[in-house]
Structure 1
Amino acid sequence: ETYLNGELKQHVNTSDLIYSVPELINFISHVMSLVPGDVIATGTPSGIGPMHPGDTVEIKIEPIGTLRNYVVSNSQ
């Protein structure tokens, strides 16, 4: 699930990806070493909309947890 400022914007599953998570990990690990804490960004389906400095974006993956990021401008 993806939340923008606390509002649910996306509800998708990894089964919707073009490549499976194991395929992605296999490919990436042939190019570089992966270590605990690495994040693999897979892109996003439509729906999140524009983000602005000061916004909060949360990605929730059950049962892993929540990744929270704050949007800042390039000048900050």
Structure 2
Amino acid sequence: MATQAQHTDKVLVVDDDSRIRDLLRRYLTQEGFEVLLAEDGKALTRVLLREPVDLIVLDLMMPGEDGLSVCRRLRG
């Protein structure tokens, strides 16, 4: 009988506030998720070029490229 490989959902947390990133990382890790972190839209792009993610938790009010702009860019 073949067994399926266990898949852990990957969540990318994007926020310019390191305290919020850390809080979400700790909570989501405790809930069984693999958590990746990014501090802005550029870091998000670097992560996505390396590996796919299942969900992105995106801060809307980041300095520079705000979360809505990042979302539009990802959808486009």
TM-score by length of 2: 0.33
The structure in which a higher percent of residues are helix is: 2
TM-score by length of 1: 0.33
